[in-house]
């Protein structure tokens, strides 16, 4: 008995069984630690291997901000903005000058002897795929100067998302003051995005809204303080971007149209559009009127007009394997119907040029060329070169004497 008691006294005390609350507490702690560890690993991996998949903070993408205007939906602010490549920080991708146009600064007061040309339109004119100085409007300038026309000055007045109504507002309210010799109207894709809205009964006035920089792009602007705080995490920013991109079906030109929604520049708005594939004569009448008014406005300002519709992959000659590059959901038409519409818009431009006796450079011959276009409307590097050469050839043919006269006026003034 005493021996047994001695053994019991010398042994370790028995452990008390863990009650249910303590088990739950330790279990939750283990889950939290595992989650924190996983998030930390995910953050490290995101920063090491996914540096370009999402911004570290939505408000700091290095992209160019827009501002709203009473005369067009949006425009670039009149201050310099430089965008460099993330892969090569020394490579300048885009320069917006202090006047809100792409490219180097120019004198708002046209110097004596300068022959000034402006290229207006949306992103097809802006040429976002080209590095700074390589956009096709400035390549036109380089080609003409290399041919001896040193007094030619080309201004890239393209703004992504602009339709003919936006170009008209800018021409009337600012561009005419640049004392242009020639204005090139290079547009129709952003106009085509209006087709579903007008097919649904909305007028142009009721179907577009001014750009709101605070809410227009959910990918770049945070919703609340917590969202803003969490966006300092690259992992959260990456997952946020992926979720919003999937939910809003955001493509290279903003949110796509789906169901009863139509896309503004970045976010959907609810419009009761007619079913897919439906478009009406109302839209084509509005399109014709837009270009007629553009020509009249330029003519009233003493500016020579050139009408040009860009080449497009939304064309009956586009190979079937290339058709998938075209996001027809932006215009809510099937590919066949969209190709038919593009052909009709080309015809309208030709009609307007004949009626108004304006110059026309027809680039529709390049439609359907997958080597020249990266999507529905934007040129590839090869397409950029082809468009620049054709434009330069056309301008030289039409304005050779006037360019020389402008140059000679400077020499006469200097000699006098």
Give the chain's end-to-end CA distance (angstroms, integer): 134
- The pTM of the full predicted model, rounded to 2 decimals, is 0.80
Of 230-234, 305-309, 316-320, 396-400, the range with the lowest mean pLDDT is 230-234
CA distance 103 to 335: 35
Digit-coded pLDDT (tens) for 183-226: 999 988 899 888 777 766 778 888 888 887 666 666 666 666 77
pLDDT at 275: 47
Instruction: Say yes or no to pLDDT of 116 above 70.
Output: yes
pLDDT at 124: 94
Of 118-127, 302-311, 312-321, the range with the lowest mean pLDDT is 312-321
Q: Which domains does the chain show, CATH number per domain? A: 81-197+278-415 (3.40.50.1110)
Instruction: Say yes or no to pLDDT of 29 above 90.
Output: no
CA distance 21 to 37: 24
Instruction: Say yes or no to pLDDT of 56 above 70.
Output: no
Instruction: Say yes or no to pLDDT of 412 above 80.
Output: no
CA of residue 181 relative to chain centroid, distance: 27
Determine contact, residues 367/310, Cβ cutoff 8 Å.
no
Q: Which residue has the higher pLDDT, 317 or 173?
A: 173
Instruction: Say yes or no to pLDDT of 60 above 80.
Output: no
Q: What is the mean pLDDT of residues 270-274?
A: 43
Q: Read off φ and ψ for residue 269, nearest 5 degrees.
A: -125, 150
Digit-coded pLDDT (tens) for 209-220: 888 766 666 666
pLDDT at 264: 39
Q: What Å distances lie between residue 120 and 105, 176, 199, 281, CA to CA?
A: 17, 12, 27, 25
Q: Which residue has the higher pLDDT, 196 or 149?
A: 149
Q: What is the mean pLDDT of residues 3-23?
A: 60
């Amino acid at each position: 008995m005493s021996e047994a008691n001695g053994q019991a006294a010398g042994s370790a005390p028995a452990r008390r069984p863990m009650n249910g609350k303590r088990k739950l507490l330790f279990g939750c702690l283990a889950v939290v630690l595992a989650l924190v560890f996983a998030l930390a690993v995910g953050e490290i991996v995101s920063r090491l291997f996914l540096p370009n998949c999402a911004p570290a903070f939505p408000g700091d993408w290095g992209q160019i901000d827009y501002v709203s205007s009473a005369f067009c939906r949006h425009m670039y602010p009149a201050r310099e903005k430089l965008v460099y490549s993330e892969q090569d920080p020394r490579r300048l991708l885009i320069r917006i000058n202090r006047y809100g146009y792409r490219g180097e600064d120019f004198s708002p007061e046209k110097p004596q002897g300068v022959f000034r040309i402006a290229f207006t339109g949306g992103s097809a004119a802006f040429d976002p795929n080209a590095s700074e100085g390589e956009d096709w409007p400035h390549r036109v300038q380089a080609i003409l100067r290399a041919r001896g026309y040193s007094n030619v000055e080309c201004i890239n007045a393209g703004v992504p998302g602009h339709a003919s109504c936006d170009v008209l507002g800018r021409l009337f309210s600012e561009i005419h003051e640049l004392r242009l010799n020639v204005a090139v109207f290079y547009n129709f894709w952003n106009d085509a995005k209006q087709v579903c809205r007008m097919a649904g009964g909305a007028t142009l006035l009721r179907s577009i809204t001014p750009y709101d920089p605070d809410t227009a792009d959910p990918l770049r602007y945070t919703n609340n303080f917590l969202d803003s705080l969490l966006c300092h995490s690259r992992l959260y920013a990456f997952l946020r971007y992926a979720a919003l991109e999937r939910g809003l079906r955001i493509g290279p030109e903003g949110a796509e149209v789906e169901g009863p929604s139509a896309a503004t520049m970045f976010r959907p708005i609810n419009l009761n559009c007619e079913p897919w594939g439906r478009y009406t004569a109302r839209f084509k009448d509005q399109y014709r009127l837009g270009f007629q008014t553009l020509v009249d406005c330029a003519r009233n300002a003493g500016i020579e007009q050139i009408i040009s519709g860009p080449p497009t992959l939304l064309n009956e000659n586009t190979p079937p394997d290339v058709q998938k590059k075209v996001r027809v959901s932006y215009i809510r038409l099937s590919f066949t119907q969209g190709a038919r519409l593009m052909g009709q818009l080309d015809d309208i431009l030709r009609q307007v040029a004949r009626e108004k006796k304006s110059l026309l450079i027809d680039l529709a011959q390049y439609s359907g060329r997958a080597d020249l276009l990266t999507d529905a409307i934007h040129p590839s590097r090869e397409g950029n070169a082809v468009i620049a050469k054709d434009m330069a050839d056309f301008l030289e043919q039409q304005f050779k004497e006037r360019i020389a006269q402008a140059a000679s006026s400077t020499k006469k003034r200097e000699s006098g």
